[in-house]
Amino acid sequence: MKLSFTKMTGAGNDFVMLDNRACTTFLSASQIAFLCDRHFGVGGDGLLLLEPPANPEAADFRMRYYNADGSEADMCGNGARCFAQFARHLGATKSLGDSIKFETLAGIISATYVGNEVAIVLTAPHSLERAKAVPTRSAGEITVGFINTGVPHAVQFVADVEKIDIRTLGAEVRYNEVFKPKGTNANFAQITGPDSIRVRTYERGVEDETLACGTGVSAAAVLAHLVHGVAKPVRVLVQGKSILTVDFREEGSEISNIVLQGPALVVFTGEIECP
């Protein structure tokens, strides 16, 4: 099967993008894993399909997101920003102005084009815990914050993120018994200024560190504000050296209207034979 694709990056988080508005592309988990493979396929942290919405009155498109291992996930923050830019790249947003809405398994996402950047409003966060004890083999018992910003995220604040053995500790948090049965994404954050943090992320489904994670950046920013008093909007430096901005509404103990903004760029387009 020959597929036309677009390779995109959102702050270093990279994706294989497929236009499936005709609803003729059906991929198995092994085919998705092949396309995301960096040695034999296109290479990416995940794969996204742009499809017609199930409810055209509520949304303009539907986003299907798959991790690099072929498993489907509810949402991906940087993937959603790339998705919006991909729709624009295809010319599918000409009649829609500067804002679009699209369906995800986590709910409706709205996106606004801000120059070459894209700002998205995430679905309402939930399951917030400011402090949670997590036993690990390599670091003993650590304390993390936890919040679901479309997908689950644990965040540990450390003095220096560069000293973290992220493959070891990240995997221990991701598969930890306290997050069973589905596990969690693992983030490690360092406060770098009154309104800035640095974040590294071990992503579930990729099973390794990625150069950026939009929902992880958002989770870390919210917890940095709530637990450590970091001023919002929070500027977040990711492993890919890009800066993302996170703002949100805070009413008492309720967090809502999380807005994630940053770059979303086309890297290249092409065709590939998919077995």
* CB atoms closer than 10 angstroms to residue 232: 16
Question: Which residues, in sequence order, are bridge partners of residue 62?
Answer: 51, 103
- 81 plus 182 within the same structural domain: no
3-state secondary structure 158-204: CCCHHHCCHHHHHHHHHCCHHHCCCCCEEEEEEEEECCEEEEEEEEC
Sequence-separated (6 or more) residues with CB below 8 Å from residue 3: 18, 25, 35, 271, 272, 274
> How many structural domains are present in the chain?
2
Q: Of all helices (H) and strands (E), which one includes residue 32?
A: helix 29-36
For residue 76, give both structure tokens: 């991906």
Q: What is the pLDDT of residue 116?
A: 87
- 211 plus 268 within the same structural domain: no
- 72 plus 130 within the same structural domain: no
C-alpha distances in Å from residue 197, one per residue of 151, 154, 192, 230, 254: 21, 16, 5, 8, 22
- 114 plus 207 within the same structural domain: no
- 133 plus 108 within the same structural domain: no
Residue pair 48/18 in contact by the 8 Å Cβ criterion:
yes
The span from the CA of 37 to the CA of 18, in Å, is 16
- 151 plus 118 within the same structural domain: no
Closest CA to 195 of 244, 231, 247, 248: 231
Residue pair 53/103 in contact by the 8 Å Cβ criterion:
yes
Residue 75 sits in a domain whose CATH number is: 3.10.310.10
- 168 plus 63 within the same structural domain: no
The span from the CA of 206 to the CA of 7, in Å, is 17
- 154 plus 217 within the same structural domain: yes
- 209 plus 157 within the same structural domain: yes
The tens place of each residue's pLDDT in the chain, 275 residues long, gives 999 999 999 999 999 999 999 999 999 999 999 999 999 999 999 999 999 999 999 999 999 999 999 999 999 999 999 999 999 999 999 999 999 999 999 999 999 999 989 999 999 999 999 999 999 999 999 999 999 999 999 999 999 999 999 999 999 999 999 999 999 999 999 999 999 999 999 999 999 999 999 999 999 999 999 999 999 999 999 999 999 999 999 998 899 999 999 999 999 999 999 99
Q: Is the peptide bond before 152 cis (omega within 30 degrees of 0)?
A: no
State residue 108 phi and psi, 5-degree precision.
-80, 130
Residue pair 70/30 in contact by the 8 Å Cβ criterion:
yes
Burial of 120 (0-12, 13-18, 19+ CB in 10 A): buried
Sequence-separated (6 or more) residues with CB below 8 Å from residue 147: 125, 126, 127, 128, 129, 153, 155, 219, 222, 223, 255
Active site residues: 76, 213
Residue pair 231/194 in contact by the 8 Å Cβ criterion:
yes
- 255 plus 269 within the same structural domain: no
- 130 plus 255 within the same structural domain: yes
- 173 plus 187 within the same structural domain: yes
Task: Give residue 184's domain range.
Answer: 126-259
Q: What is the pLDDT of residue 252?
A: 83
